[in-house]
Each structure stands twice: as structure tokens, then as C-alpha cells.
Amino acid sequence: MTPPRGGRRPSDPARRRIARIRWTTTLVFAAATAACLGILVAAALRIDLSSRAEATDTDLRQRAETLADLVTFGDDQALHLGPVQQSHAARSVPVYGFVTDREIAYAQPGQDALPSDAVLRRALADARRADGQVVTFVAPEADAPDGPRLHWAAATITDFGTYIDGGFTGGIAVAGKPVAAAVGHTQLRTGLLLSAGALTLLAAVLAHLVAALAVRPAVRGLEAQEQFLVEAAHELRTPLATLRVLAERRAPPEQTVRQVDRLTELADRLLLRARSSSRTAVDTGPLRLDQVVERAVIAHVEAAERRSGPEGAADIVLTVEPTTVDADAELVERIVENALANAARHGAPPVEVHVGDGVLRIVDHGPGIPARARRNALRAGGTGGRGTGTGLAIVQWAAAAQRAELELRDTRPGASDPGLTVVVRFRAARVGAGTGASSKPHRRGSRVEPGRQEGA
């Protein structure tokens, strides 16, 4: 009746919502990573470009100053360029020239390669105000012949000067070149963008894996809920159908009452199953384990007789000794009820219940559970080799909730039908604490009969 564990229904709205949450988390994380890496890449490129521009300007200052020092003028104010054209400074810049207030005295490779007249006049004025210092600038309209934008430096020609109308006028040497290693900057940009893309992709993959881990509890909870609903439907279908048949046939009231009792027990078991899945905290205290177990065993026998008549009553031998433990009465009763139900369903009589020294033992003489299958039998919906159920899983949960130890062992090791012994070791009650029941010893080795409390 249960769906295959690997079968996922893509049309399930809950699963679709979980999948959307996972993908949304992945996309948000990837987008945030891409944005952060984009900012870092932009900052790195800006710093690299600024550093290259500064290196270019430093080199241009040296070249322009060297060119200005090499220029000489004769007495007739004629420009002498012999030393300039043979110098390393002239060969190391693609564009240079000499400018005065009146004209462009010389330009290489031509006047069209120099900045506009307005930019040159402003450079002349800045050079005068710089008091011999070299000034640098960028002229957007003046590009190198092969296309990249040029940086410029202007240095005052100290060998040339004349007075016109009482004011000093002079000239400047200008040199221009593109930012150094522009190709290197392009390669850096490409490398950074590719690296950022790869890191973003890696971050998206890691985010998807982390999101899968984050939603795993929700997926498990959903699977547990689906399993619970399937089990509830399976458990309730038969008694409800029987109750309907009894109603249609106007069966005697006692039959209807027995069926209602069965439904009530099923509802209690399903509620306990849901409680075990919720991991609710349990408060424990001093408890007379022998009396709680005795009440639970008698209630189990009476319920079995109501369901199936006197012939259906369980054959249980109860042996108890007064013992006080730290436990919860309701959960102890659930341990007894589910362990006895498992023994009645899968074991063989007689079933023995022993209580003493803080230990509860429930023994049956059936085929038992193989050692390799016991871990699976303690899992909700697991199987011990003879079907699926939740009885032993509830026993395990109830024991763990009280911080008790649960052990499954063979009743007769090595036999063909080794049987199963459920052992629960409870914690000792705190010294000086009161008990939850009066001390009333039970006769050792007595067979439990419904409707009679031993030792009363």
C-alpha cells in the first residue's frame, strides 16, 4: 500500500514548493555572488587602468622635459631640431611637437595629430603657472593614428623667450602616447571576467547543494507525513468497512461496541505515531514501574478479550518485583502495549513480562527477528521480515524519550524459532524522590486474567 520510496511525484504541490525554494535560494546566492564579484572586477580594472595611466604620465613627463631641453633657438629665433630628431625621447613617443603663442613650430607626424588650438593654449597657460613643472592632460579629440586615446605632457622650453609689449612669452614641448600596455589591460579584463563567471557558476553549484541539505528536513518531514497518511488509511479502511457492514446488518450492539473499541485503539496508536514523529520533549519523574506495567498488561488482555472474545485473550505470564524508576507512566504503558501487540501479531505464546531492578523484559517464543533486520524493524514503517508496521518503532521512540535503553535479543539463541525478547532499561529514580504509586507486590510467575488485579 505504501508508495515506493524512490518514487517522487512531480505534481505534488508541496514538493514543487520545496523545489522552488531550493532553486530560488540557488539563484539568489548566485546573483549575490555575481554582483559582489562584478564590483571587485570593476574595482580591480579601475585600479589597474589608473596605475597604467599614472605610469604613462610619469614616462611622458620625462620625455617632454627631455624634448624641451634639446630644443634651441638661434639669434634669429629660428628653431633648431637637430638634437631632437636624433634623441631617444623623440623616437619613444608617437606624437610630439613644439608650440609657441604664435604658432605650432614643429609637429611630428603632423599638426593634425596634435590637440586642438584651444587645448594647446590652455596647456601653454598651465605650463607658465606650473613654474617649470611638467603638466599632463588628456585631449579627447586627439587620438593616435592607430586609434587609442593619447595622454599628453607639456614642458616649458627654457631656451626660448622674448618680451612682447612688456610681457614674457615662450613655448612648450608636447609629447603624447597611449596608456602603456593597453593590450595587457584587455587581457586582464578578459581573465577577470572569465574567472568571475567560473566562480559564480561554482557558487551556484555549491548553493544548490547547500540548499538541498537545508531543505532535507522538510523533505523528510513530508515523506514521513505521506507515510503516516498511507498507514492511517490502510489501518482504518478495514475496521470502517466492518463497522459499515455491522450497521447495515443491524448487528448486536456488543459487536458494534467491539468494533468502535478497535477504532479507538487504532486512533490512539496513530496519534502516538504522530507524536513520536514530532520529537516532543517528555517530563519524567519517580515511577513504580511494576504497577504501571501490571496495569498496562491487564488493560491489554481485557482489550483483546473485548475484540475477539475469551478465546482471543492473550496468554501472558507476568512476573514483577517492586522497582522505582525515572520514567513517564503513559509512555511506559505505550511500550508495553506496542511490545505485546507485536508479540501477539508476530510471536507465539506464551508471552512473558518480567519487571525488576529497573528493567522491563517482554518475551515471546515466535520466529523472532534476524539480527541484520532489527535496525530496520525499529524504523517507522520498517520491516522485520514479516510485513511493515510501527509497533517497535513506537517502542524505540518511547524508550528514547525517557532516556531509557532499548535492546532486541533472541529468546532462545540458536533455535529454529529463536523468539524475540524486548529489553528496556530505565534510569533509576532520584534519591529521596517520592513514587508515583503505592508499593503493592505482585505474585511471581502469575498468569494474567482479565478483570482481576493481582495483589488487590
User: What domains can be seen in the chain, in order of their start residue?
Assistant: 65-180 (3.30.450), 284-447 (3.30.565.10)
Q: What is the pLDDT of residue 164?
A: 44
CB 136 within 8 A of CB 152: yes
> Which pairs from 155-159 meet CB under 8 Å and 24+ separation?
155/61, 155/64, 155/65, 155/67, 155/68, 155/127, 156/68, 156/127, 156/128, 156/130, 156/132, 157/68, 157/71, 157/98, 158/68, 158/69, 158/132, 159/71, 159/72, 159/73
The half-sphere exposure of 209 on its side-chain side, counting CA atoms within 13 A, is: 5
The C-alpha cell 607639456 sits at 154
Please tell me the distance from the alpha carbon of residue 6 to that of residue 22, in angstroms, as a whole number.
19
CB 429 within 8 A of CB 324: yes
Please tell me the distance from the alpha carbon of residue 180 to that of residue 328, in angstroms, as a whole number.
82
The C-alpha R_g of the chain, in whole angstroms, comes to 47
From its phi and psi, is residue 131 left (phi > 0), alpha (psi between -120 and 50) or beta? left
Cα–Cα nearest to 440, from 453, 455, 452, 420? 455
DSSP state letter for 279: T
- 3-class secondary structure, 344: helix
Q: What is the pLDDT of residue 357?
A: 92
Buried b (16+ CB within 10 A) or exposed e, 260-277: eebbebbeebbebbebbb
What letter represents residue 398's amino acid? A
Q: What is the pLDDT of residue 121?
A: 86
Q: What is the pTM of this model?
A: 0.48
Cα–Cα nearest to 172, from 115, 238, 88? 115
Please tell me the distance from the alpha carbon of residue 84 to that of residue 32, in angstroms, as a whole number.
56
Please tell me the distance from the alpha carbon of residue 365 to that of residue 351, in angstroms, as a whole number.
7
CA 175 to chain centre: 60
Please list the pLDDT of the chain residue by residue as tens digits (456 residues). Answer: 444 444 444 446 777 788 888 888 889 988 998 999 999 989 988 888 888 888 888 888 888 888 888 876 666 566 677 677 778 878 888 888 888 777 888 888 888 888 888 888 888 888 878 776 788 887 765 554 455 678 888 888 765 554 444 444 568 888 888 876 666 778 888 888 899 889 989 988 888 888 888 887 877 777 777 766 776 776 677 777 777 777 777 878 777 777 777 777 677 766 766 666 655 557 889 999 999 999 999 988 887 777 666 665 667 899 999 999 999 998 899 899 889 988 888 888 889 999 999 999 999 988 988 888 888 877 755 544 443 346 788 888 888 888 899 999 998 888 888 889 999 999 998 765 555 444 344 444 566 655 444 443
Q: Which residues have CB under 8 Å from 162's CB, separation 6+?
A: 77, 168, 169
Q: Which residues pair with 151 in a beta bridge?
A: 138, 177
Q: Which residues have CB under 8 Å from 142's CB, separation 6+?
A: 95, 113, 114, 115, 116, 119, 150, 152, 176
- Beta-sheet pairing, 149-164 with 427-428: unpaired
CB 18 within 8 A of CB 215: yes
pLDDT, tens only, 321-345: 999 999 999 889 989 988 998 888 8
CB 426 within 8 A of CB 280: no
Q: What is the pLDDT of residue 171?
A: 80
Cis peptide leading into residue 109 (ω within 30°): yes
What letter represents residue 373's amino acid? A
Q: What is the pLDDT of residue 414?
A: 83
Cα–Cα nearest to 347, from 452, 421, 288? 421
Q: What is the pLDDT of residue 383?
A: 47
- 3-class secondary structure, 333: helix
CB 385 within 8 A of CB 370: yes
The C-alpha cell 613655448 sits at 171
Q: What is the pLDDT of residue 10?
A: 42
Q: What is the pLDDT of residue 438?
A: 40
Cα–Cα nearest to 335, from 306, 362, 372? 362
Please tell me the distance from the alpha carbon of residue 151 to that of residue 323, in angstroms, as a whole number.
97
